């Protein structure tokens, strides 16, 4: 393999790595932005449903601590 061919392959490899990194960062930013934008909407919907149903007893009286306080 000649040096010119190796340089060409290295340039392609480096460009593709840059594209992969760009896609990864863009996808992460879009995911985080979408979740941040819709979190208040989710809370409004959940709280509205809880008020409408008059029910909010999920795990009432349950202690999730891993440490025992009584024997």
Residues 5-56 pLDDT 10s = 677 666 777 767 778 788 889 999 999 999 999 999 999 999 999 899 887 7
Half-sphere exposure in the Cβ direction for 24 (13 Å, CA): 6
Alpha-carbon distance 30 to 65, whole Å? 35
Specify the pTM.
0.53
Q: Where are the domains of the chain?
A: 20-51
């Amino acid at each position: 393999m000649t040096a010119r061919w190796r340089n060409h392959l290295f340039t392609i490899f480096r460009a593709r790595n840059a594209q992969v990194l760009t896609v990864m960062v863009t996808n992460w930013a879009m995911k985080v932005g979408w979740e941040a934008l819709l979190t208040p909407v989710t809370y409004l919907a959940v709280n509205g449903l809880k008020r409408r149903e008059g029910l909010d007893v999920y795990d009432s009286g349950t202690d999730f601590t891993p440490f025992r306080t009584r024997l």
